[in-house]
Amino acid sequence: MRTPKHLKVSRRFVVEEIRKRRGYGNTSAYLVQWKGYTKPTWVEGTLLLQDVPHLVRKFESDYSQKWQKAFLQQKAFITKVTKEGGILVF
């Protein structure tokens, strides 16, 4: 059966995973992996917050924990090297 031309057919895209974030605050965008598609795309943060706020909150929580852990590991390394009399060059 064919769809009449006057009817608008909309597709529903399902977010499988949020992979990355770029930008800050109101200018944030997220790299979204869509269910059933191979290539992720960047999506404006405000749009995702309207449609899938729970996934954005989960990503932000995981992202925050990941970077906090990396920061603490780096801080522990610098402290260790400094105490041993090492020289740090950045």
Band (pLDDT 50/70/90 cuts) for residue 1 is very low
Task: Work out the burial of residue 33: count CB atoms within 10 Å of its CB; fewer than 13 is exposed, 13-18 middle, 19 or more buried.
Answer: middle
CA 26 – CA 55 distance, rounded (Å): 17
Q: What is the reported pLDDT for 90?
A: 53
Specify the pTM: 0.61
- pLDDT higher than 80, residue 46: yes
How far are the Cα atoms of 58, 73, 78, 82, 88 from residue 85, in angstroms, in the given order? 41, 19, 11, 5, 10
- pLDDT higher than 60, residue 81: yes
Short-list 50, 31, 33, CA closest to 42: 31
